[in-house]
Chain A
Amino acid sequence: MTAIRVWLTRLAGLFRRSARDRALDAELRAHLDDLTDDLIERGLSRTEAEAAARRAFGGVDQIKEAYRDQRGWPSIDSLGQDVRMARHAVAARPASTMLIVAGLGLGIGVSMGFFTMVNAICLRGLPIPDPDRVRFLSARNHDGSAAGISYQDFVDLRRSMLTFEGLAAYTAAPLSLADEDDAPARVAGCYVSAEAFPMLSTAPVAGRALQPDDDRPGAPLTALIGDTVWASRYHRDPAILGRTVRINGVNATIVGVMPDGFHFPGQADLWLPLSAAPGLADAPRTARSLAVFGRLRHTASPVAAQAELQAAQRRLEAAFPASHGDIRFESVRINDHFNGKITEPEWLAFLTAGLLVLLVACANVANVLLARLAVRSREVAIRLALGATRARVVRQLLIESACLAALGGAAGLAFAFVAVRLLAWSYPASSPLPYWIDLTIDGRVLMALVATCTASVLVFGLVPALQSARIGVNGVLKDGGRQTTGARRTRFWTATFLAIEFALTLVLLANVSMSVRRELVDDKPGIEIDPQPLLVAHLTLPPQRYGTEVERRHFYDRLRTEIARVGNVSSMTSSARMPPSHERRGLMLPWREPSETDALAYSTSVGPRFFETLGVPLAAGRDLTIEDEQPGREGVVVNQRFVDLFFVGRPPVGQRMALRDPQNMMAAPTWRTVVGVVPNLRDGDVPEPIVYVPDQDAAASTALVFRTTDDPAAASQSLRRAVAGLDRDLPLDRIAPLSDVLHDASWNGRVSADMLLTIATIAFLLAVVGLYAVIAQSVTQRTPEIGIRMALGASSRAVVWLVLRRAFAYVAFGFAASLPCTYFFERIFVSATSGEHPLLSPITFAPVLVLLIVVTLVATAWPAARAARIAPATALRQD
């Protein structure tokens, strides 16, 4: 009780300091005056009495100090002194403070920028309340691959699961939205059950939510639209509610508008009831296409939910042993489903790269501080001589470092803010990020910032502080501030920090060197498509109208006829995607034993006249035609790499081959005949063996490619008209020149390269500035020594060599240390994916080494020149 009381009054003692000091002054003054008056009455003169009173009272200032110590907490009081002192020390050396703050700011800024990205993509998750109680349900196949849940299973689970307040299901699909008086548009959409949005705690801003009644099979079709569609297509007309539009060619009534920024599950802007999803009710239990989630009841635990889910699975397994024997239901937190996995190599590489830059910055700051402390050793020695404890000196210097880290953190925050905004701004509009990825700085980033600053204080501040507290008081004061004791140890630390800096920097530079070489040296395999006359557009045939292959093929035939009439388009083809994506498949060849492990090839589905349209001449045979799509024809085109790998010594055209179905490895493969060979198309560093397969299912979603005879942009209007002529509800979406499409598709690689270049440049600049600071400092410190050498006849060339030698020694250390660092970096991040070691090679390191030598010379030039100009007489007279 008493202890708490004392503690509280002491706490209060930390505040209202000046008022309390005045009260104490008054009290002590009254005491002294009373005492003086008494002494005067006893016959002393006033002067004598005052002196005697002060003697009897004791030292007023010591009493006050003791009183103050008792009043507050001496450690906190002196902490305030230390902070004030640190502020002065930081402000007194603006040049080196600026250097430190800029360096730290860049280091912290880069790592915070990366953390902001990782936070947005891997940590934050969906913006919903109490997200940990919302669980995502899925099925896992026996081979570990994930699947969704079939509609009938969902209905069973929804009825039987009691640990959940309810279950919701959704499936995303592109939709076409058309009005009487407006051209149709493709909108990212989603079929979603009525329970979904209440469970995400999101309600419409206008109109009403989807009701269970809307989700009943056979109900009149209702729809919710997103704010983006409401604004761009309907100009926020409130009369939109109740209006009838056509979605995928079916009449639907808009009943509500969802709030701005809501695009669940990713980029959706149009939502229909789940029951409206085509073919859903008749789908077999093996059609595991739905994403299912639910909010746990407050009384239920995730463990209970899992147990109930397993019980449900056993029930289904008993009822449907054929289809449910080898799947397992599981539930995870919904954000574990949505978030990127922070353990994936690319995110770890991101965070590691950020950390590398931060470490370089810290090592740099540590060196600047060491250099600064060498100059301040006299100040420290005087404080020690006057009775400061070494712990107090270390604390004071650490507080100084903390002030620097706080400034650096503020600079870093500003840097990260700008960098992240730039990144978000540069992201291609053609493929927006999921709505819940918001590249902003939030509380978690700020907490990481504080932790980073605190940790960095220990990384860069501890060694200099401990170093300086070890100085011998006598030595320093006798030597007139030129430190000799401990100089060797300080030099050891300086060399270590520089080596760390250069080692880490060189790891980054080796990466840059490799990617620059790839860019400059045109040894990339294959021929490049000239994108100039090519135009890309996307088409999705809605299953409501084009449910069968025959209907789709019929549409494509009519489309080809229509397009042939368009004036400035000379040919048309299609591909599942543009740029084409390749799927890895097991390859079977007639002369290979079926027992042999499959060879691997990549397949991509393309339309007729693909190579003619793209302007790629065939090396042998012919292009794919419409006839190749017919069952029984099964012609394919392979690339040169495929021929080199698998058809050695055989004429490629006419060979037979088959690709395994990755969905069903047991199915009998379709044997196909090679009808043509194309050169390798440039795609990546090493050409892969590719099989171009005709589109035998007449895929509903396709990228159309048109070769135009004049301006590609001018053709887009006539193409739209041609499609509208066939189906007025069908939008031709994302029409863009192929060059734009390729540019957007390469965003990832481009931005990664830009980021790498930026952080490598930052790290390199820091390292070079660090080297300069160390060398300049050592020249200042060695001025008398150099003076003596010159007085004894050393030439200025010898002096320059003296300075250069030390610089190169530091850099050589760093270079040596960088080789194992690069090795490990490569083992962890590069060879894990490609199995090659391009990084740690002479070709990569030669330009790095040349750059290093040049930059060392530049950084050392000025200090060396200064050393060479030292006049012996002045140097020796310095004391």
Chain B
Amino acid sequence: MREDPSDVPYGTLDLMVLTTVATMGRLHGYGIARRIEQIAAGALELNQGTIYPALLRLEQKGWIKGTWGVSERNRRARFYAITAAGRKQLAAATKSWARTVDVLSRMLSQEA
């Protein structure tokens, strides 16, 4: 039985976008959305448009920087790249995420 794709858990989209930009280098919004979908492989119900408010949030915090460029299909698009502050934040967030998952999975396994 195939599981229904779940909604993106609250608060995780920003981290997904940030890590995508970190691993893939300079990328436009469509590219980021496609990459997240690829990795999720159908496990997530992502409205591609929702990454734009996330991109804006990250940019306002100074973790990524957007510049205008031209996409593979020759369209003017905004390309986002991670900043030094963004890398620091990503490292911190990764650690804290790992801790959360660790704690949560131990609690869940006890339940079971």
A residues near B (Cβ < 8 Å) are 2, 5-6, 9-10, 23-24, 26-28, 30-31, 33-35, 37, 56-60, 62-63, 66-67, 69-71
Contact = CB atoms under 8 A, between A and B. Distances in A.
B60 to A, nearest CB: 5
15 contacts: A2-B61, A26-B76, A27-B77, A27-B78, A30-B75, A30-B77, A31-B49, A37-B73, A58-B50, A62-B49, A63-B53, A67-B52, A70-B53, A70-B60, A71-B56
Given A30-B76, A57-B48, 14 more contacts: A5-B61, A23-B78, A30-B28, A30-B75, A30-B77, A31-B30, A34-B71, A35-B30, A37-B73, A62-B49, A63-B49, A63-B50, A66-B53, A70-B60
A2 B47 contact: no
Nearest to B54: A70
Interface in B22-75: 28-30, 33, 47-50, 52-53, 56-57, 59-62, 71, 73, 75
Contacts of B56: 67, 70-71
Contacts of A66: 50, 53
Contact of A31 (B29, B59, B60, B62): B29
Contact of B47 (A5, A37, A58): A58
Contacts of A70: 53, 56-57, 60
A860 B47 CA distance: 64
A627 to B, nearest CB: 100
B62 A30 contact: no
Given A6-B60, A6-B61, A63 B76 contact: no
Nearest to A60: B49
Contacts of B78: 23, 27
Contacts of A33: 73, 75
Nearest to A58: B47
A58 B78 CA distance: 19
Given A33-B73, A37-B73, A28 B49 contact: yes
Interface residues of chain B: helix, strand, loop or mixed (majority): helix
A643 to B, nearest CB: 93
Contacts of B30: 30-31, 34-35
A6 B73 CA distance: 33
Contacts of B61: 2, 5-6
A80 B75 CA distance: 35
Determine which residue in B28, B48, B61 has the highest number of CB atoms from chain A within 10 A of its CB, and name it: B48
Which of A10, A30, A69 is the most central at the interface, judged by chain B CB atoms within 10 Å of its CB? A30
Contact of B53 (A9, A26, A57, A67): A67
Contacts of B49: 28, 31, 57-60, 62-63
A866 to B, nearest CB: 57
8 tightest Cβ-Cβ pairs between the two chains A and B:
A58-B47, A63-B49, A58-B49, A30-B75, A30-B77, A31-B30, A34-B30, A9-B60
B60 A63 contact: no
Contact of A10 (B33, B53, B60, B77): B60
A62 B53 CA distance: 11
Nearest to B47: A58
A69 B60 CA distance: 13
A66 B30 CA distance: 18
B33 A31 contact: yes
Contact of B62 (A2, A10, A59, A67): A2
Nearest to A23: B78
A827 to B, nearest CB: 63
A28 B28 contact: no
Contacts of B28: 30-31
A63 B62 contact: no
A71 B55 CA distance: 11
Nearest to A38: B34
A34 B72 CA distance: 9
A9 B60 CA distance: 6
A56 B47 contact: yes
Q: Which of A31, A56, A59, A71 has the most CB of B within 10 A?
A: A31
A34 B75 contact: yes
Contacts of A56: 47-48
Nearest to A5: B62
A6 B60 CA distance: 5
